[in-house]
Amino acid sequence: MISSWRQRLFEAADIRPLVTLRVAFGLMMVAAVVRSYWMGFVEAQYLQPDFHFNYYGWEWVKPLPAFGIHAVMALMGIAALGVALGAFYRWSCAVFLLTFSYIELLDAAYYLNHYYFVSLMAFTLLILPAHRAFSVDVKWRRVKAAGCVPFWMRALPAFWLGMVYFYAGLAKINADWLHHGLPLRMWLPAFSHWPVVGSWMTKPETALVFSWAGMLFDVSIPFLLLNKRIRPLAYLMLLAFHLLTGLMFPIGIFPVVMSISALVFFSDQFHARIWQWHGVKPAELALQHRYLFRFTHLLILFQLVWPWRYLAYPGPLFWKEEGYRFSWRVMLMEKAGTAQFYIRDPKSGKEWQVRNRDYLNDTQEKQMSFQPDLLLQFAHYLGKRHLLPDGSTPIVRAEVWVTLNGRRGQLLFSPHLNLMNLRDSFAPKSWLNPWNPNF
C-alpha cells in the first residue's frame, strides 16, 4: 500500500499546472507590490514609524533607511516578474522569498496569515522546477524543457492550499464561533444597509448559519476540490465564498490569491488548454530529487505540527495568543484593547502617561493593544527611550483592557507589574491574567 503510494508520488505528472501557478503567483505578487505603494502601505507602515515590533528570535532583522526599503520593494517586484516569466527562475524565487520575508519580518504588528502563505508558496516554487516549460529560461536555453515532473511536485502546492483551508476550518470549531455565532454576529450588522439581504444581517440566526457554513466550507473544500465530478461546483462555491468575504471584510489580496491558487486543483487537461505545446512535447522528466523529496517530508511535518503548538500552553489561546500566529487562524475573533502605559520614576514617584500614537501608527497601536508579546516589546522600548535623569531605567507599567468577541473589557495583566522586569520567551506567560469567558 505504502510502496504503491510512493510509486504514485514519483509517477510522471504534467508540469503545466505548475506553470499556471508560477505565472499566476508571479503576476499577483507584481500587483501586490504595486498595490502596497498605491495604498500607501510602504510609507505608512515601514518608513514613518520610529519603532517596529519584532518577531521573537528575529530581532536582528532591522529596517533599512528609506531608499533601502524602496530598493527591497523594487527588487521584490522585479523578482516576482522573473518568477512569472520563468526568467533566472531560481534566483528570482530566492530573491522574492528573501525580500518578501524581510519586509514581513520587519514588523510583527502587520502579521497576516496570507503573507505567511505567500512566503510558503514562494519557498515551494523555489524548490519546484516550475520554469522547465513555457519560460524565458527554456527559451534562452538556460535549462532544458521538461514536460513532466514527479507527481509529488504537482501535488505539493495543492496540499498547502488544502492545509490552509482545513486548518482555518478546524480553528473555527469552538463555542464562540459555532454556538454563539461570534464574531460574525458582531460583524454582519455592518451590512444591514445592503438591499434585500440587509435585514437578515442583524439576526443572530444569520450569523450562526454563516459561521457553520464557513466552518463546513473550510474543512471540506480541499476534499471537494479533489473530486473530479464535484470540482466545478466546489470551485464556484470557493469563488462565491471569497467574493463575499472580500466584499465584506478588509482582507486585501487574500481572496484573489486563494481563488487563483486553487486552480492547482484542476485537472491536467484544464491546464493543458491554457498552455499548448507547439511542436513536439518535451517528454523528459525533471530530475527525481530524492533528497528534495525527503526534505519536503520535513517541511510538511513541520507545517502540520506547528499550528498545534498552542496545546503546549495552558491557554486560553484566544486570550493569551501563545501559539496563535502561523497557524491559519483567519478572521477568527473580534479582539481589541486599550493600552495606557505609564512611565514612573521610582525615586521621585513622578509618573508620566504615554500617548501611544507619539511612537506608533494606528495599525501598530491597534494590534499591540491586545497582543502580550507586542505590549511587552513596546514597554521595553519606552523604558529604554525614556531613561531617568541619572541614566537608570524607569518603571514601565500598563493598564490594558481587552475585549474579546463582544465581552466586556478585562485586564490583560496587573497594572502594577513593572514590565521592564519581564522578558519574552517561548515559555508560558504566567504574568497574564486568567480570562473570564462569561458575557
Partner 1 sequence: MRGLLAGFLILWTFTLVGCTDDQQPTKSGSFDRSAMLRHYADSLIQPDFDSLHRASQQLSLQLEALSFQPDVQTLSAARIQWNSTYRLWLKASVWMFGPAETSLGSLRELTGTFPANEARIEQFIQASDTSFQNFERDTRGLFALDYLLFDRSKSDNQLIAALANPGRAAYLRALGKHFQSQVANVKQRWISYRNDFVASAGTDAGSSITQMYNAFLMSYEFSKNFRLGLPMGLRPGQQQPEPDKVEALHSKAGREGLITHLQSIHRVYSGGSGLGFDDYVLASFNGQTLFDSTSNQWARVISAMQVLPPAPLDDLVRNQQPELRSLNDALTRMTRFYKSEMASLLGLTITYSSNDGD
Closest CB 262 distance from partner 1, rounded Å: 17
The residues that bridge with 398 in the sheet, in sequence order, are 341
Closest CB 88 distance from partner 1, rounded Å: 30
Closest CB 295 distance from partner 1, rounded Å: 28
Structural contact between residues 354 and 343, judged by C-beta atoms closer than 8 angstroms:
yes
Between vectors from CA 3 to CA 5 and to CA 225, what angle results, nearest 5°?
Answer: 5
Closest CB 98 distance from partner 1, rounded Å: 22
CA pair distance 394, 324, nearest whole angstrom = 31
Closest CB 2 distance from partner 1, rounded Å: 26
Closest CB 351 distance from partner 1, rounded Å: 8
Nearer CB in complex with partner 1: 39/283: 39
Between vectors from CA 76 to CA 72 and to CA 81, what angle results, nearest 5°?
Answer: 150
Residue ranges in contact with partner 1 by CB under 8 A: 39-41, 44, 112-114, 173-175, 178-180, 182, 185-187, 189-193, 199, 202, 204, 216, 249-254, 330-331, 334-338, 340, 343, 352-355, 362-363, 365-366, 369-370, 382, 386, 401-403, 406-409, 437-439
Closest CB 309 distance from partner 1, rounded Å: 19
Closest CB 167 distance from partner 1, rounded Å: 13
Nearer CB in complex with partner 1: 174/259: 174
Nearer CB in complex with partner 1: 90/407: 407
Preceding peptide of 183 cis, ω within 30°: yes
Closest CB 183 distance from partner 1, rounded Å: 9
Nearer CB in complex with partner 1: 309/403: 403
Closest CB 160 distance from partner 1, rounded Å: 16
Smallest Cα–Cα separation from 183: which of 24, 333, 322? 333
Smallest Cα–Cα separation from 64: which of 77, 79, 74? 74
Nearer CB in complex with partner 1: 21/258: 258
The residues that bridge with 404 in the sheet, in sequence order, are 335
Nearer CB in complex with partner 1: 27/112: 112
Nearer CB in complex with partner 1: 154/180: 180
Closest CB 66 distance from partner 1, rounded Å: 19
CA pair distance 399, 48, nearest whole angstrom = 26
Nearer CB in complex with partner 1: 19/182: 182
Nearer CB in complex with partner 1: 46/254: 254
Sign of CA dihedral 190, 209, 231, 154: positive
Nearer CB in complex with partner 1: 4/353: 353
Nearer CB in complex with partner 1: 39/74: 39
What b-and-e string marks burial along 352-377, b requiring 16 or more CB atoms within 10 Å of the CB?
Answer: eebebeebbbeebbebbbbbbbbbbb
Structural contact between residues 176 and 319, judged by C-beta atoms closer than 8 angstroms:
no
Structural contact between residues 51 and 360, judged by C-beta atoms closer than 8 angstroms:
yes
